[in-house]
Amino acid sequence: MTTDARQKDPAKPLTPKGRATRRRIVAAAAQLMYERGVTEATLEDVRAAAGVSGSQIYHYFADKQALLLAVIEFQTEAVLELQEPHFSRLDTMAGLRGWRDALVEYQRRLQCRGGCPIGALGGEVAETNPEARLAVASGFLRWESAIREGLTAMHERGELAADADPDDLALATLAALQGGLLLTQIQREVRPLEVALDTMLDHIARVRVSR
C-alpha cells in the first residue's frame, strides 16, 4: 500500500529531491515515535524535526496514519538491513551463533535502551489500529522468513532431524529474540537476550543430525 496518497500524480515517480524529502520526513517521524510514542509524536513535531512545511508533509502523506505505515516500513527495513550480513549464514550453527553475538553486542552498545523498534510500534498499535498491526505483523513475517531460510537449508541438507520443523524453529527463535529484547530493555542488561537466544540455539544444536 502506498503512503503517498496525496501526491499530485501518484503514478509519477518521485524526483531524487522528492525521495530525499520524503525519506527525511519518515526518518524524523520514526525517531519521534520511537522516543515519544505514536500518540505523542504529532505531525507538527514531525514538521519541525524534518525541517519541512506542513504542505510538504501532506504532499507525501494523506494523514498521520499514512505516515505511521511508512514509519513501520522504515523501521522494518532498518532492522533487517542491520542483520542482512548475517542472514546468509544462518544455515550453520556457527552462523547462527555469530548472528546471536552480533545482536547481543548491538544491545550492549545501545546500553540496552530502546528495545526492538518494530516490537515497540506493534505494542502501541496492536489493539487500536488494525491496519498498522497488520503492517507490523508483515515486518515480523519478513524477519521470521530470513531466519527460516537458513534453517530450511540445514533441514534440506539432512543436518536437522526429520521431525525438526524449520517453520516452528524459526518462529520460536524470533519469539525468543523478541522476549529477550524486551527483558533486556527493562532490566538494562544483556543477560535476558543472551539466555533466550542461547537456549533456542542449544535446542537447534540438539536436533542436529550427527554425520
Residue among 83, 78, 77, 72 nearest 147 (CA): 83
Angle formed at CA 197 by CA 142 and CA 183, multiple of 5 degrees: 90
The neighbouring-strand residues paired with 208 are: 160
Residue among 17, 21, 121, 97 nearest 61 (CA): 21
Rounded to whole angstroms, the Cα distance separating 63 from 145 reads 31
All residues at 6 or more sequence positions from 41 whose CB lies less than 8 Å from its CB, including other chains: 29, 32, 33, 35
The answer to whether 179 and 196 are in contact (CB under 8 A) is: yes
The answer to whether 86 and 98 are in contact (CB under 8 A) is: yes
Residue among 6, 40, 27 nearest 71 (CA): 27
Phi, psi angle pair for 96, to nearest 5°: -65, -40
Size of the chain in residues: 211
* 147-to-48, 72, 89, 99, 171 alpha-carbon distances in Å: 38, 20, 10, 10, 8
Q: What is the pLDDT of residue 13?
A: 76
Radius of gyration from C-alpha coordinates of the chain: 19
Q: What is the pLDDT of residue 24?
A: 96
The answer to whether 71 and 49 are in contact (CB under 8 A) is: no
Residues of the chain short of pLDDT 50, as ranges, are 1-11
